[in-house]
């Protein structure tokens, strides 16, 4: 997770940019760099490794200038080299970037065909080159950035600096966070308020799709449609910025909205620089030597295993057994040296998952864990701890950890498929290209929040709610029901769609909303038949589908929420958004404590 900072200052900016980068170093430290405007020209210093290296290079050759941008990098596209370090400069433009540009390869080919020469392997450089091209065609910096943004696909936050324009800095966000800081005769940009804390506590958080044009006198913000946007300036208590909710009412809302950004990192972490193959994590099992996988976790993390079971079985043809940790540990299941065991835990402290891990140690041939908290007990005790890259999750109900667990599992399933000879190099590249759409599609699904909030107003009046799904949507139905129960205290159950007529259909009447997760996939028609069985009995169906699914079903459903069309590997990640937001808004309607629901704890360290 890269960190960005920018200062339009009244005095030398490089030392303060370095200070801001130190506060952002937690976001990555593969390399760092600063660009300033010195006498109207762009000058840069970049160094590989931790900030100390950049500090040294600045000591050896200080950077003057009253305007500058800085970056601390967590490498995605391109190795951690000086050439790949940000800022990237093309002609009169310098840019720093946090996120991933999905369509960088076709853009780079197009720019190369037009004569552009690239100095790095990064996706970021296409942004600088594109912007420089628009400037060369006579556009102003603001017009050039707007035209550049219109060509980019992906999730990102950006800061631009322009040679010859000492009083202009432009920021933009789509999917990744970016804040504007207000000083006295100075203005700032930063990945978070923490980076800006020593300079100002007066912060404007940019919203999805915003572009901010800064001068020393202030900022003008434009929304995704290019209209002037009025974004509130808030005073953030400097002591509290570490756990700041940003523009959100709750940590849960913030964490749900962070998903496009963190998913990009979770995906990239397990892929090669060109994003065309899965990078084998050091010490990872050779899945070709495994006869069976056993996956163990609790709650939401268990549902991530449930989705993963479908993926490993279909993509890699490995039999997978899943179990909740509290059952697994006492059942004393037989485990052999040909088994691989995977434990999943956001906190890395869940007592049952830890006990299950200890049970398989010495029995399973391969043991690994997917964890979010790197220093946790499960991370330390497992042979191999794979990070899920979700960043700190504060809300008790898990959201971004779930989708990041899925992102890591998707990569591992493809890797296993390759190792076991079921996935060719060509298929791997095409599966990864499909996965790369996840951050953008999740950002688009988040754009459907008003529809989900409207549906939640009706759900909040229900006493019982059923969730249905088939295939990999079945665990999503379970996750949707869990989220609704824990956040709104409404009774909810998730069922495999086909199981409904074996009992639960007796519950159906006009008072029980039935939420059906049904992308237009191979099992769509079957799920829709089950939906009709519900409607024939007076049940009210909230259908969550895509445009093709909605067209197929027509008018019958009580409500329909339309998500973007997604590859089957991306769909479970995408449908997590309505599972989360329907519960979140229902809880808001009911006035429950969203971030700390009653009776729960973030780390369940007792059995
Ligand atoms: C539900 C939720 C819990 C956790 C479960 C496991 O929203 O957060 O069900 O998923 O307690 O916790 P970890 O992943 O920390 O082991």
The 10s digit of each residue's pLDDT in 533-573 is 888 888 999 999 999 999 988 788 999 999 999 999 999 99
Q: Which atom of ligand 1 is nearest to the CA of 300?
A: 10
Peptide bond into 244 cis (omega under 30): no
Residue 302 CA: nearest ligand 1 atom is: 10
Average pLDDT over residues 147-162: 94
Question: Who contacts 555 (Cβ-Cβ below 8 Å, separation ≥6)?
Answer: none
Alpha-carbon torsion (132, 138, 141, 147), positive or negative: negative
What is the number of the ligand 1 atom nearest to the C-alpha of 483?
7
Q: What is the mean pLDDT of residues 484-509?
A: 94
Q: Kindly state if the Cβ of 345 falls inside 6 Å of ligand 1.
A: yes
Measured CA angle at 493 (ends 333, 606), to 5 deg? 50
Mean pLDDT of the chain: 93
Please choose, from the candidates 200, 34, 28, the residue with its C-alpha nearest in 3D space to the C-alpha of residue 98: 28
| Phi, psi dihedrals of residue 515, rounded to the nearest 5° | -100, 120
Cα 254 to middle of ligand 1, angstroms: 18
Distance 450 CA to ligand 1 centre (A): 27
Phi, psi of 131 (to 5 degrees): -65, -40
Ligand 1 near 371 CB (within 6 A): no
User: Is the pLDDT assigned to residue 605 strictly greater than 60?
Assistant: no
Centre of ligand 1 from the C-alpha of residue 398, in Å: 6
Measured CA to CA, the distance from residue 378 to residue 540 in angstroms comes to 43
Average of per-residue pLDDT across 236-253? 75
Pocket test for ligand 1, best of 252, 300, 492 (most atoms within 8 A of CB): 300
Q: What are the pLDDT digits (tens) for 101-113?
A: 889 999 999 999 9
> How is residue 163 written in tokens?
């040679």
Report the percent of the chain where pLDDT is more than 70.
97
72 CA to centre of own chain? 19
| Cβ pair 364, 341 in contact under 8 A | yes
Distance from Cα 58 to the centre of ligand 1, integer Å: 45
Tell me how far apart the alpha carbons of residues 413 and 336 are, in angstroms, rounded to a whole number: 21
Q: Which residue has the higher pLDDT, 585 or 241?
A: 585
Q: Is the minimum distance from the CB of 298 to ligand 1 under 6 angstroms?
A: yes
Q: Which atom of ligand 1 is nearest to the CA of 299?
A: 9
Q: So what's the pLDDT on residue 193?
A: 80
The pLDDT-based confidence of 240 (bands split at 50, 70, 90) is: low
Q: Is any ligand 1 atom within 6 A of the Cβ of residue 405? A: no
300 lines ligand 1 (CB under 6 A): yes
Ligand 1 atom 16: the closest Cα is on which residue? Answer: 345
Give yes or no for residue 243 having a pLDDT over 70.
no
Question: Measuring CA to CA, which residue among 66, 71, 270 is closest to residue 169?
Answer: 66
CB of 267 sitting under 6 A from ligand 1: no
Q: What is the pLDDT of residue 301?
A: 98
Q: Answer yes or no: is the C-beta of 72 below 6 A from any ligand 1 atom.
A: no
Mutate to test the pocket of ligand 1, among 299, 593, 603 (most ligand atoms within 8 A of CB): 299
The atom number, within ligand 1, closest to the CA of 399 reads 7
Hey, which of 256, 297, 298 would you mutate to test ligand 1's pocket, going by the most ligand atoms within 8 Å of its Cβ? Answer: 298
- Is any ligand 1 atom within 6 A of the Cβ of residue 346? yes
What distance in angstroms lies between residue 570's CA and the mean position of ligand 1's atoms?
Answer: 22
> Looking at the annotation, which residues are catalytic?
2, 602
Q: What are phi and psi of 228, to 5 degrees?
A: -60, 135
d(CA 477, CA 545): 13
Tell me the C-alpha distance between 585 and 490, whole Å.
13
Residue 355, classed as helix, strand or coil, is helix
375 burial type by CB count under 10 A (0-12 exposed, 13-18 middle, 19+ buried): exposed
Which of 23-32, 155-164, 448-457, 591-600 is the least confident region?
Answer: 23-32
CA dist., res. 99 & res. 284, Å (int): 26
Q: Is 413 left (phi over 0), alpha (psi -120 to 50) or beta?
A: alpha
Cα 601 to ligand 1 centre (Å): 9
**pLDDT class of 606 with cuts at 50, 70, 90:** low
Distance separating alpha carbons of residues 319 and 287, to the nearest angstrom: 11
Nearest to 1 by CA among 94, 79, 100: 100
Radius of gyration of the chain (CA): 25
Q: Phi and psi dihedrals of 569, rounded to 5?
A: -75, -25
| Lowest mean pLDDT across 65-69, 221-225, 375-379 | 375-379
Ligand 1 in reach of 372 Cβ (< 6 A): no
Given a cut of 90, whether residue 155 has pLDDT beyond it is no
CA distance to 216, 296, 307, 586, per residue, from 343 (Å): 51, 5, 14, 31
Q: pTM of the prediction?
A: 0.76
The pLDDT tens digits of the residues spanning 300-357 come to 999 999 999 999 999 999 999 999 999 999 998 999 999 999 999 999 989 899 999 9
Q: How far is the CA of 266 from the centre of ligand 1 (A)?
A: 19
Report CA(597)–ligand 1 centroid distance (Å).
13
Q: How confident is the model at residue 9 (pLDDT cuts 50, 70, 90)?
A: very high
Report the nearest-CA residue for atom 9 of ligand 1: 299
**What b-and-e string marks burial along 239-257, b requiring 16 or more CB atoms within 10 Å of the CB?**
eebeebbbbeebbbbbbbb
**Ligand 1 atom nearest 603 alpha carbon:** 15
Q: How many CB atoms lie within 10 A of CB 118?
A: 16
pLDDT greater than 90 at residue 424: yes
Q: Is the CB of 398 under 6 A from ligand 1?
A: yes
Mean pLDDT of 52-68: 95
């Amino acid at each position: 997770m890269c960190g960005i900072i920018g200062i339009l200052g009244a005095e030398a900016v490089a030392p303060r940019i370095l200070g801001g980068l130190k506060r952002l170093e937690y976001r990555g430290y593969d390399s760092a760099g600063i660009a300033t405007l010195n006498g109207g020209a762009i000058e840069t210093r970049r160094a590989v490794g931790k900030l100390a290296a950049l500090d040294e290079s600045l000591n050896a050759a200080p950077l003057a200038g009253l305007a500058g941008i800085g970056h601390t990098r967590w490498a995605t596209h391109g190795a951690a080299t000086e050439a790949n370090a940000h800022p990237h400069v093309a002609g009169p433009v310098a840019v720093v970037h946090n996120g991933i540009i999905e369509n960088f390869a076709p853009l780079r080919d197009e720019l190369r065909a037009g004569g552009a020469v690239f100095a790095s392997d990064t996706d970021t450089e296409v942004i600088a080159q594109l912007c420089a091209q628009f400037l060369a065609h006579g556009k102003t910096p603001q017009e050039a950035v707007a035209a550049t943004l219109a060509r980019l696909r992906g999730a990102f936050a950006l800061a631009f600096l322009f040679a010859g324009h000492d009083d202009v800095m432009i920021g933009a966000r789509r999917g990744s966070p970016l804040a504007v800081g207000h000083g006295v005769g100075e203005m700032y940009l930063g990945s978070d308020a923490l980076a800006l804390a020593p300079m100002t506590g007066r912060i404007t958080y940019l919203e999805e799709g915003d572009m901010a044009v800064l001068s020393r006198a202030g900022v003008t913000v434009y929304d995704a449609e290019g209209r002037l946007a009025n974004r509130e300036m808030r005073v953030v208590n400097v002591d509290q910025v570490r756990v700041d909710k940003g523009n959100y009412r709750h940590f849960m809302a913030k964490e749900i909205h962070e998903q496009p950004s963190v998913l990009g990192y979770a995906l990239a972490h397990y892929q090669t620089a060109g994003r065309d193959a899965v990078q084998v994590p050091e010490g990872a099992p050779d899945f070709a030597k495994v006869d069976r996988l056993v996956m163990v976790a609790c709650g939401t993390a268990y549902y991530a295993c449930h989705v993963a079971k479908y993926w490993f079985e279909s993509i890699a043809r490995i039999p997978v057994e899943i179990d909740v940790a509290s059952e697994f540990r006492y059942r004393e299941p037989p485990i052999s040296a040909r088994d691989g065991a995977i434990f999943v835990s956001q906190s890395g402290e869940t007592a049952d998952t830890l006990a299950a891990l200890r049970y398989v140690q010495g029995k399973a041939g391969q043991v690994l864990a997917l964890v979010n908290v790197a220093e946790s007990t499960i991370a330390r005790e497992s042979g191999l701890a794979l990070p899920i890259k979700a960043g700190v999750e504060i809300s008790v109900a898990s959201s971004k950890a779930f989708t990041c667990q899925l992102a890591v599992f998707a990569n591992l399933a493809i890797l296993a498929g390759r190792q076991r000879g079921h996935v060719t190099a060509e298929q791997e590249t095409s599966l990864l290209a499909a996965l790369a759409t996840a951050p953008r599609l999740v950002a688009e699904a988040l754009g459907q929040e008003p529809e989900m909030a409207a549906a939640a107003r009706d759900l909040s009046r229900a006493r019982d709610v059923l969730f249905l799904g088939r295939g990999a949507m079945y665990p999503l139905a379970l996750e949707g029901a869990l989220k609704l129960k824990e956040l709104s205290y409404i009774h909810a159950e998730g069922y495999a769609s086909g199981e409904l007529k074996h009992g639960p259909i007796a519950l159906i009447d006009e008072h029980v909303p039935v939420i059906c997760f049904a992308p237009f996939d191979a099992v769509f028609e079957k799920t829709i038949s089950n939906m009709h069985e519900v409607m024939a009995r007076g049940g009210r169906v909230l259908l969550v589908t895509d445009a093709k699914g909605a067209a197929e079903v027509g008018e019958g459903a009580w409500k329909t929420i339309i998500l973007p069309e997604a590859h089957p590997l991306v769909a479970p990640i995408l449908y997590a958004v309505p599972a989360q937001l329907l519960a979140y808004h229902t809880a808001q309607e009911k006035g429950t404590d969203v971030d700390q629901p009653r009776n729960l704890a973030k780390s369940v360290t007792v059995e």
